[in-house]
């Protein structure tokens, strides 16, 4: 290598290092019109307001960097910097967070937000530092409901043999097995093509997803059973977090909090307006009564014993007791 060429290469390497240090590659599964898009926008704007041009958030919506598991694995090795993701695959990284995926454990949005913003939620966030990640805050998707192309779901009997896509989440898979369905775990980017091709009959997601991903185009029935709360997480790669100074860390934390507020606002709004929107788009929507939901809860009594063994009855009781 000539001296001149070596100097030019060193200069280029330095520039590239600087540029990539300032870019925050953020991947998320849903469109910019979704609650994740709203969260990512608030994150981006807050970071800019706090730190000027020091960091540029590059958005990769709609699974542009792959499924949620791939994105989180990318963050562990530092090829991706940030994400907003569901709890779908989180328990593959930190098994304890699976407790939040237990059906009917979190009662309503207020209960869920109080638990996640409190000591129990904070303790769970801290565990991500042990696996090459840094979790900033718990965001949200809302309560999950069932959509399918076979008919309305009103009782567990209606789920019999239903090929329902679940997240790659052992807690959810176990629950749908107990309810008599045929759960088919699958990464999100494969779901809409699988529904289009009829490879699966249904899927389950909150209104925020059903509405923003236009699932009415591939599903006829939405049964609002709210079987489980769906948290989301705002997270950075451990490498990015460790490279920040204290001022920058505080700014990223503020950006994470702003993302949570934006996501929750979106969810509050879609919980009210989403049902009408789906009906207008031609979907048949049924809302399960308290009594109907109780049938699903009763059918899960045996698996609750397994959940208690796995996650600890004390923790589950503490969550239930949180006001
Ligand atoms: O069903 C899922 O996998 C998740 O809820 C989704 C749609 C990817 C959002 O995180």
Q: Are residues 21 and 30 in contact, defined by beta-carbon separation less than 8 angstroms? A: no
Q: Are residues 54 and 44 in contact, defined by beta-carbon separation less than 8 angstroms? A: no
259 CB near ligand 1 (under 6 Å): no
- Euclidean distance between CA atoms 36 and 319, whole angstroms: 26
Q: What is the pLDDT of residue 3?
A: 41
Q: Above 90 in pLDDT, residue 1?
A: no
> Each residue of 64-85: pLDDT tens digit?
999 999 999 999 999 999 999 9
115 CB near ligand 1 (under 6 Å): no
CA–centroid distance, 4 to ligand 1, in Å, is 51
205 CB near ligand 1 (under 6 Å): yes
* Residue with CA nearest ligand 1 atom 4: 86
Q: Are residues 181 and 103 in contact, defined by beta-carbon separation less than 8 angstroms? A: no
Structural domain containing residue 71: 2-321
- Euclidean distance between CA atoms 240 and 22, whole angstroms: 10
Q: How many domains does the chain have?
A: 1
Q: Are residues 163 and 141 in contact, defined by beta-carbon separation less than 8 angstroms? A: no
The CATH number assigned to the domain holding 252 equals: 3.40.190.170
> Each residue of 159-175: pLDDT tens digit?
999 999 999 999 999 99
Q: Are residues 51 and 244 in contact, defined by beta-carbon separation less than 8 angstroms? A: no
67 CB near ligand 1 (under 6 Å): no
> Each residue of 95-150: pLDDT tens digit?
999 999 999 999 999 999 999 999 999 999 999 999 999 999 999 999 999 999 99
CA-203 nearest atom, ligand 1: 1
Q: Which two tokens stand for residue 40?
A: 């990512």
Q: Which phi and psi angles does 268 have, rounded to 5°? A: -55, -40
DSSP letter string, 35-90: HHHHHHHHHHHHHHHHHGGG-EEEEE-TTTT--HHHHHHHHHTTS--EEEEESTTG
Question: How many CB atoms lie under 10 A from the CB of residue 12?
Answer: 10
Q: Above 80 in pLDDT, residue 17?
A: no
Question: How many CB atoms lie under 10 A from the CB of residue 186?
Answer: 17
CA–centroid distance, 12 to ligand 1, in Å, is 39
Write down the pTM of the prediction. 0.92
């Amino acid at each position: 290598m000539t001296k001149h060429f070596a100097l030019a290469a060193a200069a280029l390497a330095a520039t590239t290092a600087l540029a990539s240090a300032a870019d925050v590659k953020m991947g998320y599964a849903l469109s910019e019109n979704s609650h994740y898009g709203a969260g990512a926008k608030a994150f981006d704007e807050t970071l800019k307001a706090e730190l000027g041009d020091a960091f540029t958030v590059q958005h990769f919506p709609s699974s542009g960097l792959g499924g949620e598991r791939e994105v989180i694995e990318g963050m562990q090795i530092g090829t991706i910097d940030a994400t907003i993701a569901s709890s779908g695959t989180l328990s593959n990284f930190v098994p304890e967070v699976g407790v939040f995926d237990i059906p009917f454990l979190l009662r309503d949005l207020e209960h869920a937000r109080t638990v996640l913003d409190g000591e129990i939620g904070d303790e769970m966030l801290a565990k991500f530092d042990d696996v090459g990640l840094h979790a900033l805050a718990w965001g949200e998707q809302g309560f999950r409901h069932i959509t399918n192309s076979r008919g309305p779901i009103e009782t567990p009997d209606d789920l019999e043999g239903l090929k329902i896509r679940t997240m790659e989440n052992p807690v959810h898979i176990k629950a749908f097995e107990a309810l008599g369905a045929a759960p088919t775990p699958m990464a999100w980017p494969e779901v809409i093509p699988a529904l289009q091709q009829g490879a699966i009959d249904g899927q389950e997601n909150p209104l925020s997803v059903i509405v923003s991903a236009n699932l009415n185009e591939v599903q006829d029935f939405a049964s609002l059973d709210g079987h489980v709360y769906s948290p989301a997480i705002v997270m950075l790669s451990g490498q990015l977090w460790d490279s920040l100074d204290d001022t920058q860390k505080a700014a990223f934390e503020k950006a994470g909090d702003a993302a949570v507020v934006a996501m929750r606002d979106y969810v509050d709004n879609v919980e009210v307006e989403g049902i009408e929107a789906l009906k207008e788009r031609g979907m048949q929507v049924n809302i399960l009564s308290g009594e109907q939901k109780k049938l699903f809860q009763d059918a899960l009594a045996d698996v609750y014993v397994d959940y208690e063994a796995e996650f600890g009855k004390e923790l589950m009781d503490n969550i239930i007791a949180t006001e």
